[in-house]
Amino acid sequence: MKRTLFAIVLISLGLTVRAQNTIPAAAIQIQTAELAAPADKRGASSVYGYSAKGEFILLRKGTNEMICLADDPKIPGLNVACYHKDLEPFMKRGRDLKAEGKTPKEVADIRDHEAKSGWIPMPKQPASLFVYTAKAENFDPVTGTVKDGYLRYVVYIPYATAESTGLPLKPDAPGMPWLMDPGTHRAHIMISPPQKN
């Protein structure tokens, strides 16, 4: 009896782990990735996601200026993003360094040096990033169904400061825009709408 229960538990755990690591169909990855994009940008954005083998690949070549990233199936919940194509060198470099095993601090330091040297071209104008998230219990990766998702907004303005923008360095009220990482290559305006309770 104990062996039977133990076997059932092992099978259940195996199914759970397998379900969490299952890579959704390309159509579902594209559908959920575009939830981060403004409505009028969906359908024409480039979308990167995962092959059946777990390789990070281009799922769809777009015709507009937006690039969307599908959810990483190894991480519980939903976390997708869309950003302006001028941010791609910066974003791709971050992905590559992370894949090499660099720590977040190492990634930041390397990109800082490479941006200052001009090796990573940074946008000459403000460039947008949209991030859409949902908790694991609110996201079905098989159907792409999401409930209670949360969208936040970022506008990159490399080397901007509080003085050059007039923005505070922290929000004084819920949803108020503020400037993060001022004076650096990754300076950006953060806009985080209040979340539902």
Question: Has residue 196 been placed in a domain?
Answer: no
- Number of independent structural domains in the chain: 1
Question: Has residue 86 been placed in a domain?
Answer: yes
Question: Has residue 73 been placed in a domain?
Answer: yes
Question: Has residue 43 been placed in a domain?
Answer: yes
Tokens standing for residue 133:
């998230």
Question: Has residue 84 been placed in a domain?
Answer: yes
Band (3; pLDDT cuts 50, 70, 90)? low
Question: Has residue 164 been placed in a domain?
Answer: yes
Count CA atoms within 13 Å of residue 59 on its CB side: 29
Give the residue numbers spanning the domain of 100: 2-191
Question: Has residue 197 been placed in a domain?
Answer: no
Residue 108 pLDDT more than 50? Answer: yes
Band (128; pLDDT cuts 50, 70, 90)? very high
The set of long-range contacts for 135-141, using a CB threshold of 8 Å and a minimum separation of 24, is 135/77, 136/76, 136/77, 138/77, 138/78, 139/32, 139/71, 139/77, 139/78, 141/22, 141/24, 141/28, 141/32, 141/71, 141/73, 141/78
Band (117; pLDDT cuts 50, 70, 90)? very high
Instruction: Identify the pLDDT of residue 11.
Output: 38
Contact call for residues 62 and 46 (beta carbons, < 8 A): yes
Mean pLDDT, range 33-42, rounded to an integer: 97
Which of 107, 110, 109, 111 is closest to 121 using CA atoms?
111
pTM (2 decimals)?
0.85
Contact call for residues 111 and 90 (beta carbons, < 8 A): yes
Contact call for residues 71 and 33 (beta carbons, < 8 A): yes
Sign of CA dihedral 184, 71, 59, 130: negative
Q: What is the pLDDT of residues 146-180, one digit of tens each?
A: 999 999 999 999 999 999 999 999 999 999 999 99
Residue 41 pLDDT more than 90? Answer: yes
Question: Has residue 144 been placed in a domain?
Answer: yes
